[in-house]
Structure 1
Amino acid sequence: MEQKEQHTQQATGLPRIGEKAPDFTAQTTHGEITLDDYKGQWFILFSHPSDFTPVCTTEFVGFQNIYEQLRALNTELIGLSIDSVTSHIAWIKNIEENFDTKIEFPVIADLNKDVATKFGMIMPESNGTETSRAVFVIDDKGTIRAVIYYPLSTGRNMDEMVRLVEALQTTDEHGVSTPADWKKGEQVIVSPPKTTEEAKTRMESPDYECTDWYFCKKNI
């Protein structure tokens, strides 16, 4: 079973949550970038199937709309598809003209599929060269913190991109977890107590809102 899982991982090239992001050097609409360029800051690397396509166009407008929110969270954006720099530039110009949106983040021109392969953005069962709608959230230590895949027909939710980064950074800063549908400023979940005495103390403390001994929230 273990050998089979290892073989599957090698075949798909999909990095896992908690692993270091694969090293890369890539040509983009902002010139050459490398993984080292993002030391000390978070970034979201996302792939799109192709330039000049409707759903991808709405996503690029959406990503640009949240770009300032992400930058306020020390988080950069990097787009990617298996198109040329020339194609990217022409499409970005088209988006600016037709949707009054200037794309400010770099877009990787991954013609040799090097970055897409390292990040498992091309499905092994696919005969095409389109990259999937993949999202990788990578923290300021170069560790992959979240991986999300969407089908080609479904555009991504931009509010979730911001919420996810805020939740991960809140976990890092306060050592807590976040419940379903959590938004910044709401109560967080604390880990279950390790002793009966700790459980009793927590249940009686005004600092916690406990539904049961194992389920407590608090404000931060």
Structure 2
Amino acid sequence: MTGEHTSAIGTLAAPPRPLRIGDRAPLFSARSTHGPVELSAYRGRWLVFFSHPADFTPVCTSEFIALARLAPRFEQLGCALIGLSVDSLYSHLAWLRAIHASFGVEVPFPVIEDPSLEIARAYGMLDEEARDSSTVRASYFIDPDGIVRAISWYPMTVGRSADEMLRLAAALKRVERGDAVTPEGWEPGDAVLLPLPGEQALFDGGDDWFCRRIEES
């Protein structure tokens, strides 16, 4: 589909606006620390695709350490992780080796390079005039059909919560069933909420018709 596919070596132009929830995630192929990566290979499972401003920076290092430690729990959810920055593959490899040497943490998920900025632009991480991605700290939660279900943006000076990324992935997977929505702070196993009922509930649903919790079995 025109405008849907891009790659690290560059083929098609970026879409005219940033991605929104409900959009189809642009396809790409790129080199990574785990070899060639194609987004289409992740169809059939959940994916958190996230960018970081630069390798060898303190906030990004703290995020990668936390995500690496939580990677088995993402895997239990059936949710993959892919990181991205404009740094080269060789920089990624050196940085991940330094993280392992300094903190004893091995990053188990691929980190892709995007020196041309084409993937970042395709996802709306950058505007068309941007020359680098130093202010980008974005996360895209993509469902098994390749649809963007949630997006988060942080400034380069504030690190994301890996726990919240995991919680959001779990919540998105839970509500995918269509029989419930999740309340504030929901964690797996907590009570969920009934979706807003139809008009008849206004008359026979009781005073709490608009916010009913149900326990998970």
Taking a change above 3 Å as real, the CA distance of residues 28 and 117 of structure 1, as seen in their structure-2 partners, is same
Matched, 1:182 2:181: no
Alpha-carbon spacing, 1:19–1:129, altered in 2? closer, same or farther (3 Å) = closer
Following TM superposition, by how much is the alpha carbon of 1:198 offset from its aligned partner in structure 2, in angstroms? 7.7
2:213 is the alignment partner of 1:217: yes
Local SS of the residue matching 1:45: strand
Does residue 1:71 correspond to 2:75, yes or no? Answer: yes
For residues 128 and 203 of structure 2, what CA distance do their matches in structure 1 show? Answer: 48
Counterpart of 1:14 (choices 18, 21, 39) is 18
Structure 1 residue identity aligned to 2:179:
G
Alignment partner of 1:92: what SS?
Answer: helix
Following superposition, the deviation at residue 40 of structure 1 comes to 0.5
Q: Where do 1:31-180 residues align within 5 Å?
A: 31-123=35-127, 128-130=132-134, 132-180=136-184
Q: In structure 2, what is the Cα distance between the partners aligned to 1:165 and 1:128?
A: 28
- Is the contact made by 1:81 and 1:131 (CA closer than 8 Å) also made in structure 2? no
Tell me whether 47-56 or 126-135 shows the greater mean CA deviation.
126-135
CA contact (8 A) 2:85 2:133 kept: no
Q: TM-score with structure 1 length normalisation?
A: 0.86
Which amino acid counterpart does residue 211 of structure 2 have in structure 1? F
By percentage of residues, which structure has more strand? 1
Structure 1 residues 197 and 73 mapped into 2: Cα distance closer, same or farther (>3 Å)? closer
Matched-pair contact (CA < 8 Å) for 1:50–1:131: no
Alignment size in residue pairs: 203
Q: CA deviation at 1:126?
A: 5.1
User: Any idea what the Cα deviations from partners look like across 1:163-194, whole Å, max 9, x if unmatched?
Assistant: 10111111012521111111111111112221
The alignment status of 1:192 with 2:188, answered yes or no, reads: no
Shift of 1:14: 1.3
Change (3 A) 1:197 1:153: closer
CA RMSD for the aligned pairs?
1.9
Give deviations 1:145-168, integer Å, cap 9, x for gaps. Answer: 000000100010011111101111
- Sequence identity of aligned pairs in percent? 38
Contact 2:20 2:148 in 1 (8 A): yes
Secondary structure at the residue paired with 1:215? coil
Displacement of 1:90: 0.3
Match of 1:101, SS state, is: coil
Gaps of at least 5 residues in structure 1 are 1-8, 204-210
Q: TM-score w.r.t. structure 2 length?
A: 0.87
Runs of 4+ residues over 3 Å off in structure 1: 123-129
Task: Structure 2 unaligned segments of length 5 or more: list them.
Answer: 1-13
Cα 1:194–1:116 shift into 2, 3 Å: same
3-state SS in 2 of match to 1:31 = coil
| Separation in 2, partners of 1:57, 1:180 | 29
